Structure 1
Amino acid sequence: MEKKLTVEEVTELITKTFTPSYVATEEGQAHLNRTGKAVTNESLNKRKESQRKTLAGIAFNKQLAKVASDQAKVEELLILKEEWITKYIAKHYESDED
């Protein structure tokens, strides 16, 4: 399991781990930039994935409301909920990946 570090812990870790001479070099600065970009991209990707699941869940609930008067359709839709949400995300957001 990953440990979530606080800003203070990360700052302390970097201060103790990286020496000023390494950070001052082009190689050191490039490494820090890559690390920062990777952390930012991971956070953005997680947020994007979470947002898409939320929006797909809302769309699923709307679809469920449309068929609410037919119990058989409601049961069928509930059984296929995860598949429906996965297909919805693929249909609406697949082209956004590029």
Structure 2
Amino acid sequence: MLSDVMNKIKNVEENILIKKAEAQTKAKNMIAEAEKKGQAEVAAAVLRAEEDAKKLLDEADQRAAAITAELKKSVEETQEEIKRLSASRLDDVAHMIAERIVNG
């Protein structure tokens, strides 16, 4: 009878060790699976971030091109205005020089 009890205790202890080993293996597998899933999610997030960054850079390039075109147009208009004003003043200066030469 005592040996039966001892055998039962031994069997229970062995079952506990087996269950513990199974639980540890299951936990390791769950951790590995979670890490794998996490890495996949991180990779997907990085890809999305790269795509978003590319879109933002493209939009910034488009805005910069539009601003550059506006500034170029403004500069060209200012240049034309300066040319027009300088042309009219050139005539005035030429008349003034001619008057001084003539009047001595």
Q: Structure 2 length as normaliser, TM-score?
A: 0.43
- Higher RCO (C-alpha under 8 Å, 6+ residues apart): 1
Larger Rg, first or second structure (1 or 2): 2
